Amino acid sequence: SSPDSEGGTPELEKAGLLNKTKIAEGGRKLRKNWSPSWVVLVGNSLVFFKDPKSQTPASWRPGNSRPESSVDLRGAKLHWANELSSKKNVFKLRTVTGNEFLLQSETDSLIKEWFITIQSVIDRLDRE
C-alpha cells in the first residue's frame, strides 16, 4: 500500500458523475428521487456531492468539501439491480446500517468500472 493508506489523507480511488437515488434509510423504504450526483470514492467511503457543476478536484478534498452524504463501505453489499428500475445499468449499494442507494449511468463501461472499484474496496475492508 502507498504511504497515504497508512493514515493522513485518504486515497482517492475514483470520482465522477452518476445518477443516484436513495431507496431505503435504516431498512425503511423511501420514495425514489433520482438526481445527478458527483460521487467520490475515497478511503473507505463513498461520498456524494449535490452540485456536480460546483465541484473541482480541490473541492472534494477532506476539509474543503460539503458532501451531501457519505457512505461507509465496511460491510456494505453491492448488487446489480436492473430489476429495481426501468433504467439500464443500475446497481444497489446497501450499508450495514440498512441504507440503500441505486446508482446508474447510461454508459456501460463507466458503470462497470464503478461497480468493480467499489466492490474492490468492500473486499479490501472485508479482509481487514
The site for ligand I3S (CB under 6 A) is made up of 31-32, 34, 85-87
34 or 80: CB nearest ligand I3S: 34
Q: For ligand I3S, which is the closer residue by CB, 94 or 122? A: 94
- Rounded CA-CA distance 64/117 in Å is 24
Residue closer to ligand I3S, measured from CB, 32 or 79: 32
In the bound complex, what is the minimum distance in angstroms from residue 9's beta carbon to ligand I3S? 36
DSSP code at position 1: -
CB of 116 to ligand I3S, least distance (A): 23
Q: What is the DSSP string of 21-75?
A: EEEEETTEE-----EEEEEEEETTEEEEES-GGG--TTTTSTTT---SEEEE-TT
In angstroms, what is the minimal distance from the CB of 91 to ligand I3S?
12
Nearer to ligand I3S by Cβ, of 85 and 119: the residue is 85
Q: How far is the CB of 28 from ligand I3S (least distance, A)?
A: 15
Beta carbons of 79 and 100 less than 8 angstroms apart: no
Q: What are phi and psi of 41, to 5 degrees?
A: -100, 110
